[in-house]
Chains A and B, each alone.
Chain A
Amino acid sequence: MGILGLSKLIADIAPHAIKEMEIKNYFGRKIAIDAYMSLYQFLIAVRSEGSQLVSVDGETTSHLMGTFYRTIRLVENGIKPVYVFDGKPPDMKSHQLNKRAERREEAEKELQKATEAGDQESIEKFNRRLVKVTKVHNDEARQLLKLMGIPVVEAPCEAEAQCAAMVKAGKVFASATEDMDALTFGTNVLLRHLTFSEARKMPVQEFHLDDVLKGLELNQREFIDLCILLGCDYCGSIKGIGPKRAIELIRQHRSLEEILKNIDTNKYPPPENWDYERARELFLEPEITDPKDIELKWTDPDEEGLVKYLCGDKQFNEERVRNGAKKLMKARTGTTQGRLDGFFTISTTPNPKRKAEEDKKNAAKKKKASVGGGRGRKPK
């Protein structure tokens, strides 16, 4: 999902574009969260003894547990979250969705086999692979968020695209998702691992699109072509071209059209009926609601409503739910810490010395590559 190998490519070529931050540094920021992605995370991760949490009727409640407590954690850190839900998938994604369905079927078969064999480890593994965010999950999460006083945005199509549009319009500070294609859609700032469990102590990764483009030496359009070449959700990619080749080709030819003209298509056959143009169109002009028409409003949590909704059938502990509601309420009162950024002008330049060293390194690498046969031995 997302863009194949993009995060690794950025980490290799443009490491300055990625910053590791603590969650508390985002106080006062409005952040658009990809709801599908976080619900999926919760369904996978929020478990007790390997199985999902369930209500009296055996319905899953992992997604509600996750949404409730992790949203509270964000709010306690001074963040103002907005959840963005997916609309209908774009037609171009049907291929990808079919593939996913196939994989699920496979996993189901494997699960059956494992159950017959009584292989506990495999059962758990395939169980996780079968996890799917359903409409019911979405609706329940939406209702819960409403009770918590957290705004929800319905994207007409892909949530990442909607998040990106809201960042670009200055409605929110960043998009939070694990999907790297938020950058392809043009979000200025992408946060990963924001909704991860606190226990994992995972720092939040902050990607800045400007720095990514600068580091890769591409413009946004070329970056989109690079992402298509790496492999996106909307169309196939050329077999035999990995991330390294992809960035080299884009830097050399600057567009997919030029690349197709210049590479040996017998050696690197593009997929049949390769509709990269429409995929590019989808990234450039996705179907979104105009951010101007979106009003974000955070309201007081409805404590009684939350208790009624979560306790009882869904078996949440009443005391903990009430405590959660109080935390949400407390975060709404009081003052917010300001930042110095608005008062002082800040310009960051990479250390010139380090830049020189890196250039030297790159030059050495290139030299090595052209000589060839230098595999497996490091210089020095």
Chain B
Amino acid sequence: MFEARLLRSSILKKVLEAIKDLLTQATFDCDDNGIQLQAMDNSHVSLVSLTLRADGFDKYRCDRNISMGMNLGSMSKILKCAGDKDTVTIKAQDNADTVTFVFESPNQEKVSDYEMKLMNLDLEHLGIPETEYSCTIRLPSGEFARICRDLSQFGESMVISCTKEGVKFSATGDIGSANIKLAQTASIDKEEEAVVIEMEEPVTLTFACQYLNYFTKATSLSPQVQLSMSADVPLVVEYRIPDIGHIRYYLAPKIEEEES
């Protein structure tokens, strides 16, 4: 028997919004510690890694480890039926081929349940090596979303370059070029609005704007976002979801055409 209850359905709704553009289907692995999801998009350019810890739920019970393959489009449709303030409970029997979502209104007057068929997906195990990153940049998530949106008007790809002066985002295209520089915040009054840069070595990498724009769908989950970069390895974009877990996106960099 698996049962997980969240007081606010809005978190789950936002999580789904943050992944459903990248993935059409995915496996939710549930065990004692919580719910995990790891999957690459079809073209193997980006990876989504989601963790929701058991202690973040209002009630969490998982007798046996289960993996539930879900169609994210269908799941999103179901979650749209929930009010933001509704409580949501996810339930499944051991070895079941369906999962049930129960929504309860705050005053307990309306209870609705939705049953969804599970999918038999192949299990993909991803080994992500532990990496020490040369640069980590923390900035307000809204600011990052804005930068990605603005720069994607100029070109398909964006260069992120981190030096000791600060971090620079730039794009070039048919209409011209754009550069946005952010310097480290001098005095931190509000942690949520700060730009913090930790750098051991300067790094410059190029990424596809399209994917970054998919990632920033997670903006409403967290006031801050953290970017980690090292030369020639995937970028990590991390949103910490307060009190319950995090969502991490990995993105393969664009590489200079080898001269053949």
A positions within 8 Å CB-CB of B: 16, 21-22, 24-25, 27, 296-298, 332-341, 343-351, 353-354, 357
Contact = CB atoms under 8 A, between A and B. Distances in A.
Contacts of B252: 337-340, 343
Question: Interface centre among A339, A343, A345, A353, by most B CB within 10 Å?
Answer: A343
Closest 10 CB pairs of A and B: A354-B120, A345-B127, A338-B252, A335-B254, A25-B43, A351-B120, A339-B44, A340-B252, A347-B125, A338-B255
Given A344-B126, A354-B120, A27 B234 contact: no
Contacts of A350: 122-123
A348 B67 CA distance: 14
7 contacts: A22-B42, A25-B44, A335-B254, A339-B43, A340-B47, A344-B128, A346-B40
B60 interface: no
A127 to B, nearest CB: 40
Contacts of B245: none
Interface in B20-77: 40, 42-47, 67, 69
A86 B127 CA distance: 43
Contact of A349 (B42, B47, B125, B127): B125
A194 to B, nearest CB: 16
B206 interface: yes
A338 B257 contact: no
B233 interface: yes
Nearest to A352: B123
Contacts of B128: 344
B60 to A, nearest CB: 23
Contact of A340 (B40, B69, B121): B40
B257 A296 contact: no
Nearest to B67: A351
B189 interface: no
B124 interface: yes
A146 to B, nearest CB: 17
Contact of A348 (B45, B124, B234): B124
Interface of B: 40, 42-47, 67, 69, 95, 120-129, 157, 206, 208, 233-234, 250, 252-257, 260
B257 A344 contact: no
Nearest to A19: B42
Given A347-B127, A348-B124, 6 more contacts: A337-B45, A337-B254, A340-B40, A348-B122, A350-B122, A351-B69
Contacts of A347: 124-125, 127
A327 to B, nearest CB: 14
Nearest to A333: B257
A25 B257 contact: no
Contacts of B255: 335-338
B252 to A, nearest CB: 4
B74 to A, nearest CB: 18
A346 B123 contact: no
Contact of B45 (A16, A332, A338): A338
Given A337-B45, A349-B123, A349-B125, A343 B233 contact: yes
Contacts of A357: 120
Contacts of B206: 335
B129 to A, nearest CB: 7
A353 B95 contact: yes
A349 B122 contact: yes
B260 A298 contact: yes
A339 B45 contact: yes
Contacts of A339: 43-45, 252
Contacts of A21: 42
B257 A335 contact: yes
A167 to B, nearest CB: 18
A299 to B, nearest CB: 9
B95 to A, nearest CB: 7
B92 to A, nearest CB: 13
Contacts of A337: 45, 208, 252, 254-255
Nearest to B124: A348
Contacts of A16: 122
B124 to A, nearest CB: 5
Contact of B157 (A297, A298, A335): A335
Nearest to A349: B123
A27 B44 CA distance: 11
B120 A353 contact: yes
A294 to B, nearest CB: 13
A147 to B, nearest CB: 19
Nearest to B118: A353
A22 B257 CA distance: 23
